[in-house]
Amino acid sequence: MSSEPAEDRPPRVVLGVSGGIAAYKACEVLRRLTETGHDVRVVPTRAALEFVGAATFEALSGNPVRTDVFEDVHEVPHVRLGQQADLVVVAPATADLLARAAHGNADDLLTSTLLTARCPVLMAPAMHTEMWEHRATQDNVALLRSRGVTVAEPASGRLTGADTGRGRLPDPVEIADLARLLLAAPTALPRDLEGQRVVVSAGGTREPLDPVRYLGNRSSGRQGYALARVAAQRGAEVALVAAHTADLAAPAGVRVVPVGTADEMRAAMLAEADGADAVVMAAAVADFRPVDLANYKIKKSDADPDPLPLTRNPDILAELIEARRAQRIAARLLVGFAAETGDRDTTVLEHGRRKLARKGCDLLVVNAVGDGRAFEREENAGWLLAADGTERAIPFAAKSRLSASVWDAVAEQLDG
């Protein structure tokens, strides 16, 4: 790695790979980071090379692979790699690697690099459920987190062999997204939501016309999923009420409640919100639905189609606010999202202020949409408006970065 100024070079990432069956997934993490312009050096353990060969990592990264402190000794790699890195990611991080890192072992190049790194460190655990839940592992994770290391929550699912449970490596897309978030905002993932229960809605509802067709919208669900992902990694217990999304993988450590229509989302949100510390309505709920649902496919004909009568769908956020006001549900904070476009007389921000006053929620995130913004994109921007009149601009960045800004504000209000 060169010594050129940070602003003149791509971000430097050390990707550590420890010896678990999930080591093959590190190749996808590596590919996603290199394709977004990061300079990645892979540092596998000797055990990791039993699963994936060095040639694969070298071909994908374009950089040589080292495992031993005695390779290229004149470059002092066991010190230089950690000193010069902007981020260290370990994926997978086995129980053994977590233990060695927690206790300051430096018996190979990867653990030596972890000791010399002064940049953010992200560890993505992967192991059997019993190993993850063991008191020794949990103590090691707590110790690492107390030192500022981000130890990601593992996913649940199929493990080695026929076993299923918690301890699966998070999806490589999620690991790469968390890595980019820490590069952009090193303090974006504190454990400040531990003990909090949050509910997030995501995706676009679909209102059926007949067995084939539906009314819907362009929401991909990415913003809601990013909110759920960041909340889980900040320690919250998260329920994600998810309508139709762009085939997104469930965020690690998140319970997903699938729904389809606005009525189904309404029922799920009212049930999940009771007792929640924070509820975030990020879903794009269809405003209207057909009055009648055809039980058969509506056929084309030479004549013009009959007008399609529509009726309003419930305003779920308004119902949540009213239910809290009437003490039918207990929810400490209610956060809304408003996708707005400006018009001849009113700006996006002004529309958002009026909506906050009308809705009566605690926080409102206002996004400008249209012209390729917000929907079906990886990035977002907007404003965060609070009921007390404070406003924060959220600059254009990845949706995970906007999510971190939202949870910053939520954590402040919960503390207050």
Q: Tell me the C-alpha distance between 53 and 257, whole Å.
A: 39
The boundaries of every CATH 3.40.50.1950 domain in the chain are 6-184
Q: What is the arithmetic mean of pLDDT over 167-179?
A: 97
* H helix or E strand, kind and range, residue 112: helix 109-116
Q: Is 380 a catalytic residue?
A: no
Catalytic pick among 105, 140, 217, 313: 217
Burial bucket for residue 298 (CB in 10 Å: 0-12, 13-18, 19+)? middle
What DSSP character marks residue 1? -
Q: Tell me the C-alpha distance between 223 and 338, whole Å.
A: 12
- Asked if residue 77 has pLDDT above 90, the reply is no
Least confident span in 76-80, 259-263, 296-300, 319-323: 76-80
User: Per DSSP, what are the bridge partners of residue 198?
Assistant: 238, 278
- Asked if residue 56 has pLDDT above 50, the reply is yes
Other CB atoms closer than 10 Å to residue 103's CB: what's the count? 10
Asked if 332 and 304 touch (Cβ cutoff 8 Å), the reply is no
Q: Is 307 helix (H, G, I), strand (E, B) or coil?
A: coil
> What CATH superfamily is the domain 6-184?
Flavin prenyltransferase-like (3.40.50.1950)
User: Per DSSP, what are the bridge partners of residue 125?
Assistant: 93
Quick one: pLDDT at residue 6? 58
The packing angle between helices 95-102 and 109-116, to 10°, is: 40
Give me the CATH code for the 197-415 domain, please.
3.40.50.10300
The per-residue pLDDT for range 253-279, each reduced to its tens digit, is 999 999 999 999 999 999 999 999 999
Burial bucket for residue 314 (CB in 10 Å: 0-12, 13-18, 19+)? middle
- Asked if residue 25 has pLDDT above 80, the reply is yes
The boundaries of every CATH 3.40.50.10300 domain in the chain are 197-415
The per-residue pLDDT for range 333-361, each reduced to its tens digit, is 999 998 777 777 778 888 888 889 888 89
Other CB atoms closer than 10 Å to residue 325's CB: what's the count? 10
